[in-house]
Amino acid sequence: MINNSPARIEAPWIAADLNPDDLESSHWRSATPVEIKRRWSGEAAPANHHAEARILWTDQALCVRFVGRQTEPPVVSAKPQLETKTIGLWHRDVCEIFIAPDPNTPSRYFEFEAAPGGEWVDLGIRFQGSRRETDFEFRSGMTVAASIAADQLMIAIRIPWSESIPKPEKGEKWRVNLFRCIGAGNERYLAWQPTFTVEPNFHVPEAFGWLEFV
């Protein structure tokens, strides 16, 4: 069952241009934390898999930071590929944001993932009826940073404004969802807005919440 009144995230504008490695910047405190603590199915996830996300925007980019519990060894590549996108990254530990800049067309959205080892992937998604089409050649210019210390994971993603993801105006609203994959099995799939599918599936745009630029 999809939530008929999707939740809302407020993304504050800041004058500074954050870099992904500004993980500890005081600017993040101006954004309200968004809890990711349920599985895709809506069930409660164990506390050691919980995460939070904060979203900011600047004149240059959309910035997202995830902070999660990390009490187990992360599932990552032994030889991380950092120079180009890693197709299939979703099979390991990642944090993700899906955004649909046109709220009237949530079936056209963009997927951004980053892993604890610094790997990343960006994809363009479009639904044609029930068929999902993925643009693996999409290039957003996204950059990422990640760190693990004291049982805590931090991942930041910076997505520059572009023709595909244009700089918004204050008060504008987009569709959005946030996810975390951690560990193994179906229990690994966490979502801010659960998709309530029978099998794990994040690609349910009608389940997306709202992102308001303030």
* CATH code, domain carrying 149: 2.60.40.1190
In a domain, 60, yes or no: yes
Residue type, 111: E
Cβ contact 141:127 at 8 Å: no
Q: Is 165 exposed, middle or buried (0-12, 13-18, 19+ CB in 10 A)?
A: buried
Confidence (pLDDT) at 172: 98
Residue that the structure tokens 């599936």 belong to: 201
Q: Name the 3-class secondary structure at 3.
A: coil
In a domain, 2, yes or no: no
- Asked whether residue 176 is assigned to any structural domain, the reply reads yes
Look up residue 1 and give its amino acid: M
Instruction: Print the domain residue range for 57.
Output: 8-213
pLDDT score, position 71: 96
Q: pLDDT value at position 5? A: 52
Phi/psi at 211 (nearest 5 deg)? -115, 115
Residue 193 placed within a domain: yes
Nearest-angstrom CA–CA distance, 146 and 10: 23
Helix (H, G, I), strand (E, B) or coil at 18: coil
Separation CA 74–CA 183 (nearest Å): 7
Tens of pLDDT along the chain (214 residues) come to: 454 456 999 999 999 999 999 999 999 999 999 999 999 999 999 999 999 999 999 999 999 999 999 999 999 999 999 999 999 999 999 999 999 999 999 999 999 999 999 999 999 999 998 999 999 999 999 999 999 998 999 999 999 999 999 999 999 999 999 999 999 999 999 999 999 999 999 999 999 999 999 9
Domain total of the chain = 1
C-alpha–C-alpha distance, residues 183 and 28, integer Å: 27
Residue 119 lies in a domain: yes
- Report if residue 194 sits inside a domain: yes
pLDDT attached to residue 1? 44
Cβ partners under 8 Å of residue 120, min gap 6: 85, 86, 89, 112, 113, 114, 142, 144, 157
User: Is residue 146 domain-resident?
Assistant: yes
Is residue 175 included in any domain, yes or no?
yes
